[in-house]
Structure 1
């Protein structure tokens, strides 16, 4: 029997909150501060969406200075530097804005009986800077937020979505749709067993880039989600 859509899980930075190039630039700076100077911004952009520690590990493994036996120590040092950079950036640049139409999309989905969840590859303190800057802390249109440091494994693993399911009493991932602007977001939705795993194009991931993960749909804006969801709901009710 077909089940209704009960939850839409959106990525936070880039998909629903404007973050420009802040995250990859600060991650590159953190690598540089620890002596890893040959990484390109393009390489870092390609890892956006994944858990930050996992992205650091993968990027380090391609570097000529990488020492596997010291990897955990180095990863932690780079990650701490990155988190400090994020904090300092948002404290000195407090102007953060929601992506256009994001709140309208949330409201429309809630009117259709669908809860709204946000998740992110950032840690909780960094995510809260984004939420507070966008005016979204404790926002009535957002039912739940989960960050990568609150689960055992971040994207593309299903842990964040599974935690939302448990908190909201959702019995099956087939009652969930996932929306994000990276390959990692699409893979997270797929590995979670979501009904739909939708990609949103951005500066880092083009239509062709996102299609490599075989998403349900690739869209250019959040508002394009609404007709797709309405069609799914009509099919479910038949």
Structure 2
């Protein structure tokens, strides 16, 4: 969601930073940004592994407490701050759906945050988005394929070659590859540049979601 379809004003990384600081860990935002695509408790555990010298302190209880503070910061932000779709996203959703392509979102956020965002944007209510799954609704988040698998199951899709994954992080790319999707497409509207995404072997890299449908039409026509 954030960085791919929803504008990220930096609040997510700052919420991580604040939550970690409350427990005595001072982490630069520049080191938090690359973890944006991960399931949030997993991102916290990764940060702790770098900044906590006593491994015995890195417990599920500590991760949960930091995550609770992160959730509080993010829910407060998304309930009251402006939430904006990235440019051309809604038009791109409409174009995909008019071509008979289902639009589904998966996210490293937990369901409570995702519901606030989608509730304010109205994408489920107005039919721009068909489905959503959050990382706390599956056994593991990205780069594991479980969120894509869940969406496929609910859509009645059994062949991953009928699925195209789009995301702005390295774990998005690997999620699509691990799910066996037809394409795993990277978009540069989030935390990573094209040069940073190339080593993760995306099927294609686009700079704007408006390029997605023309790309699919071109690939289909030349196949």
Q: Same-fold call, TM > 0.5?
A: yes
Aligned to 2:137: 150
Report SS of the residue matched to 1:115: coil
Query: What is residue 223 of structure 1 aligned with on the other side?
Result: 210
Q: Do the aligned partners of 2:131 and 2:151 also contact (CA within 8 Å) in 1? A: yes
Distance 1:66 1:220 in 2: 42
How far has the Cα of 1:228 moved from its partner? 1.2
Question: Distance between the aligned counterparts of 1:69 and 1:33, measured in 2?
Answer: 15
After superposition, the CA RMSD in angstroms is 1.5
2:113 is equivalent to residue 126 of structure 1: yes
| Dislocated runs of 4+, deviation >4 Å | none
Q: Are 1:81 and 2:69 matched, yes or no?
A: yes
Deviation at 1:235, TM superposition (A): 4.5
Partner in structure 1 of residue 201 of structure 2: 214
Distance in 2, matches of 1:202 and 1:65, equals 35
**Which deviations, in whole Å up to 9, do the C-alpha atoms of 1:72-126 show, x marking residues without a partner?**
1111111111011111112332x21111111111111112221100110000110
If the length of structure 2 is used for normalisation, what is the TM-score? Answer: 0.95
Q: What SS does structure 1 have at the residue aligned with 2:104? A: strand
Alignment pair present for 1:55 and 2:43: yes
Q: What is the aligned partner in structure 2 of residue 92 from structure 1? A: 80
Structure 1 residues 32 and 69: CA distance shift in structure 2, 3 A: closer
Residue 188 in structure 1 maps to residue 179 in structure 2 = no
Name the CA distance, whole Å, in 2 between partners of 1:202 and 1:228: 17
* 1:14 and 2:7 are equivalent in the alignment: no
Match for residue 32 of structure 1?
21
CA-CA distance at 1:171 after TM superposition: 1.2
Q: Which runs of 5+ in 2 are unaligned?
A: none
TM (norm. structure 1) is 0.89
How many residues align structurally? Answer: 223
Cα displacement (A) at 1:42? 1.1
Aligned to 1:5: none
Distance 1:150 1:143 in 2: 17
Change (3 A) 1:107 1:230: same
More relative contact order, 1 or 2 (CA 8 Å, 6+ apart): 1
**8 Å CA contact 2:49, 2:58 repeated in 1:** no
Structure 1 unmatched runs, 5+: 1-11
- Residues 1:68 and 1:234: Cα distance change in structure 2 (over 3 Å): farther
